[in-house]
Structure 1
Amino acid sequence: MPNNQFSSPAARDILPNLAVLILAAGLSRRLGQPKQLLLKNKKPLIRHIAELAVGLNPQCIVVIANNMSEISSCLKDLPLQLVENQQAYTGMASSLKTGAECLKHHHGPVLITGVDQPMLDAAYLQQLIQYSIQQPDMNIVSHYAQTIGIPAIVQPELLQQTHDLSGDSGLKKLLMQQPDKIIKVPAAQLAFDIDTPEDLIHARQQGWID
């Protein structure tokens, strides 16, 4: 089990070559409304996550589906790059590949996150960064609900391997092929995400979503 006791200096001062990739092109079919626009503390979730990312490092890419003007308008004043995934309907793999293409010349680690984990906060992202600083050749992944997932900090070589994925295949498939290159960071609070109307009701009952 990794040691969770870290100081929290500014990430950009210590890991200046970190890129952040936010996967925000999901179509929220099961939820029935764009999860990116659900409110947390009176802010759209996509805005909340983007502000966390910008606070870590000024190089930030957000992958969105095409014709998502409401989502892009939430981010227009932030220093980040919006990229449209024209094939968002095919699943998460297409968003990973879109992000990988944007970062094909990036040679540093990449923090990848989604937008539907309402308990994600800056302190946890900083924790991932601290592990990456201590183990710069490793992929740092979140561990919850007896599995691994995002947020994760991955090596650029692994991100480029996403070109071989399809459908809803995500990072987990690639990461599990390299178990000796993984550090798992416990994150029980991130096991909950918002996929269905029932999830949204629960999140509101808990006060995680407005």
Structure 2
Amino acid sequence: MSSDSYLSMPIHLKPTNPLNLSNHAVIILASGLSLRLGQAKQLLCKDGEPLICFMTKLALFTKPQAIIIVIPDNQPLIASAMNELAFQYSMIQMVVNPTPEIGMAYSLDLAIEAVTQLTSSLIERVVIMGVDQVLLDEQHLVKLLADKRSVVASAYGSWQQTFHLNNMNLNETSAATALKQNIIGLPLTIDCDLLREWQALLVGDKGLRYLIRGLPPSQISTVVNNQLSYDIDTPEQLAHAKQKGWLAK
């Protein structure tokens, strides 16, 4: 991407971190059918734009070589929401999952295949993120990329656990002490070679989590961020996010 393109980015997207992050690609898994939610979470509105666009701009902040976005088939509104960004930034590649109902593993398989086909030989790491962690920010992605272990994953509690503790009006320190980070998951960074090695092991709804658990401690680290507990899977979670002002009403 040219320097002029970065100058035209909104202020909150201009790269301000000192890290050299350009040896990575980003995968955004956005092909879920949102069956429990009852509407496409990709199109929920955050800061005046569809959530899928907001998450793509977070990915752009890290200055990747490529951004692979997996979307569901037969969802023209999701595809059209990304048209402007995809036109503006040539590193964005849309990949359509024709069978999103069979589980996340196939979406990830399609994305890994797209990364493998990239001509750039500079890609050493891959950031994998979803589309519905509405409190994800740029600095969390920077922290994930700053650690060079084989896998650097996010750690946080469950939605119910975090919601309950926050409603108890505990201060930040007390809440952090009470909350067990029992989820190790997205977003995460992973060595590109390891991701390709694991590609054949992805089946159904089994993503990377069970493979990550098998790594020795020396190859994995975590970045704790309990705000990532707030994803949007149900009408209750959506209502809470709107009430907090995280998403538009």
1:152 aligned onto 2:159? no
**Does the 8 Å contact 2:21/2:62 carry over to 1?**
no
Partners in 2 of 1:71 and 1:179 — Cα distance? 39
**What is the TM-score of this pair, normalised by structure 1?**
0.88
Amino acid at match of 1:68: Q
1:189 aligned onto 2:205? no
Match of 1:16 among 8, 14, 22: 22
Residue-by-residue CA offset, 1:123-160 (whole Å, 9 max, x unaligned): 211121222xxxx2421100011120000001113322
Match of 2:74 among 54, 67, 71: 67
CA RMSD of aligned residues (A): 1.5
Residue-by-residue CA offset, 1:45-85 (whole Å, 9 max, x unaligned): 10100111122124111001112221121211222000011
Shift of 1:104: 2.0
Deviates more, 1:153-162 or 1:185-194: 153-162
Q: Give identity over the alignment, percent.
A: 41
Q: What is residue 85 of structure 1 aligned with on the other side?
A: 97
Q: 1:10 to 1:54 in 2, by over 3 A?
A: farther
Segments ≥4 residues shifted beyond 3 Å: none
Partners in 2 of 1:36 and 1:26 — Cα distance? 9
**Does the 8 Å contact 1:144/1:187 carry over to 2?**
yes
Q: What is residue 174 of structure 2 aligned with on the other side?
A: none
Match of 2:48 among 42, 51, 63: 42
Amino acid at match of 2:71: I
1:107-122 matched pairs, under 5 angstroms: 107-122=123-138
1:168 aligned onto 2:168? no
Partners in 1 of 2:99 and 2:187 — Cα distance? 22
The secondary structure found in structure 1 opposite 2:108 is helix
Shift of 1:191: 1.0
1:124 aligned onto 2:140? yes
The secondary structure found in structure 2 opposite 1:184 is strand
Match of 2:83 among 63, 66, 76: 76
**What is the TM-score of this pair, normalised by structure 2?**
0.75
The secondary structure found in structure 2 opposite 1:77 is helix
Shift of 1:167: 1.5
Q: Which runs of 5+ in 1 are unaligned?
A: 1-7
Shift of 1:90: 0.4
**Does the 8 Å contact 2:149/2:220 carry over to 1?**
no
Amino acid at match of 1:129: L
**Does the 8 Å contact 1:158/1:174 carry over to 2?**
no
Shift of 1:197: 0.7
